[in-house]
């Protein structure tokens, strides 16, 4: 949790505590206590609806992050397929394609990954994909062995390009503003309903309200941190490309 998140949490809790104090001073608990049964019934319905909405959004952003993580491993796996085929090709085509696969992994890991946190991509990495495509399509197919290498290289390269497009499309996936509005308004209404209850023990009432407000705010912070798969504390890391680069034999 960042300092901004902590500041938001503390600020909201202070506002809730101050608001509850004002409500209790202006409307004493005996006045509110007679409506506890009706308020409790409505609060139960509001609480259930908001809990369902929160659960839906949390599951959605988690699945989005998990999908982005799987996409990066599929992309790295396809890149590895192109690399190992390049090791079977004669010079100068083989070493050239091999170098481009390594350059692509390094470029994605070191340059494109930080850019994705700002919803950007690397044009140089895209150019490398086009260059690898040109290399693969120039593989000679004079015999059966070369034909097999060519077919597998094309398959891996198309998979690489497809997974790259999927990864870059996931950079811009986020919770829609309308859904954010529903989450925030729902949280305000859910916490606000607790002000309608009248309890003779002011401290216990305040503690319960602040605890509920804290739970709502923390849930919203978790959603915000997981909103973009490649940004925030739960950001997807370039682990797949690190693994690929760490397990390679010396270049030719």
pLDDT in tens, 218-231: 999 988 888 888 88
pLDDT at 1: 62
- Token couple for 60: 């959605």
Say what the pTM is. Answer: 0.80
Q: Percentage of residues in the chain with pLDDT exceeding 70?
A: 99
Tell me which residue of 128, 133, 140, 145 sits closest to 92, measured CA to CA: 140
Q: Are 225 and 57 in contact (CB under 8 A)?
A: no
What is the rounded distance in angstroms from the CA atom of residue 191 to the CA atom of residue 223? 18
Mean pLDDT, residues 60-87 taken together: 93
pLDDT at 215: 92
Cα within 13 Å of Cα(57), Cβ side: 27
* Helix or strand run (H / E) with residue 132: helix 123-137
What's the chain's length in residues? 252
Widest pairwise Cα distance in the chain: 93
What is the rounded distance in angstroms from the CA atom of residue 120 to the CA atom of residue 56? 28
Q: Per-residue pLDDT tens for 166-178?
A: 999 888 777 888 9
Q: Per-residue pLDDT tens for 23-50?
A: 888 888 777 777 777 777 888 888 899 9
Preceding amide of 159 cis, omega within 30: no
Mean pLDDT, residues 126-147 taken together: 90
Q: Which residue, chain included where needed, has tokens 């990495």?
A: 125
pLDDT at 170: 85
Residue 252 in this model has a pLDDT that exceeds 70: no
Q: Are 35 and 195 in contact (CB under 8 A)?
A: no
pLDDT at 37: 77
Residue 211 in this model has a pLDDT that exceeds 70: yes
Q: What is the SS3 assignment for 10-46?
A: HHHHHHHHHHHHHHHHHCCHHHHHCCHHHHHHHHHHH
pLDDT at 74: 95
């Amino acid at each position: 949790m960042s300092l901004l998140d902590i500041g938001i949490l503390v600020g909201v809790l202070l506002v809730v505590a101050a608001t509850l104090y004002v409500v209790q001073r202006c409307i004493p608990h005996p006045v509110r206590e007679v409506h506890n049964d009706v308020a409790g019934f409505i609060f139960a319905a509001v609480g259930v609806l908001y809990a369902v909405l929160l659960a839906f959004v949390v599951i959605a952003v988690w699945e989005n992050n998990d999908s982005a993580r799987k996409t990066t491993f599929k992309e790295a796996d396809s890149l590895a397929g192109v690399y190992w085929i390049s090791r079977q090709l004669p010079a100068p085509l083989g070493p050239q394609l091999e170098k481009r696969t390594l350059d692509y992994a390094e470029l994605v890991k070191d340059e494109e990954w930080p850019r994705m946190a700002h919803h950007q991509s690397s044009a140089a990495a895209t150019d490398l994909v086009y260059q690898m495509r040109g290399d693969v399509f120039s593989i000679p197919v004079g015999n059966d062995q070369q034909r097999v290498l060519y077919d597998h290289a094309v398959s891996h390269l198309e998979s690489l390009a497809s997974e790259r497009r999927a990864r870059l499309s996931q950079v811009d996936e986020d919770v829609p503003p309308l859904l954010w509005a529903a989450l925030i308004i729902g949280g305000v209404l859910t916490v606000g309903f607790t002000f309608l209850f009248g309890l003779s023990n002011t401290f216990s009432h305040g503690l319960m309200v602040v605890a509920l407000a804290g739970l709502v705010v923390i849930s919203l912070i978790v959603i915000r941190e997981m909103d973009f798969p490649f940004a925030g504390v739960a950001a997807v890391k370039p682990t797949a490309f690190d693994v690929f680069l760490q397990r390679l034999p010396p270049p030719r």
